[in-house]
Amino acid sequence: MRTSKLLADELAIPKPNFQVLRRTMATRAQNLGSVKDIQSHLRHSRADTTANEYMQELPESVQQMVGSVYAMLTSAATQQQAM
């Protein structure tokens, strides 16, 4: 969590808590494994908890947009550091 605090400070955003990180992981992993895989990783007793409470729908177009914005922001930050 020390690293996340440093990153949050650098980006001037609130520090993510453990619950936010778990939910983000579940949402991002939905195309990488089955609900049962994610359920097992999160140690939920019911797959319904994983699917309904932790995973949010993330359409491919949204993933592409987020990736593009991330690339734009990181390239701008890299350019500023080079100056």
Give the pLDDT of residue 81. 66
Give the pLDDT of residue 46. 95
Give the pLDDT of residue 59. 86
Please state, in angstroms and rounded to a whole number, the distance separating the CA atoms of residues 30 and 50. Answer: 10
Place of tokens 């177009």: 61
Tokens describing residue 31: 């195309």
Average pLDDT for runs of 10 along the chain of length 83: 74 81 89 92 94 89 90 78 65
Give the pLDDT of residue 83. 63
Give the pLDDT of residue 18. 84
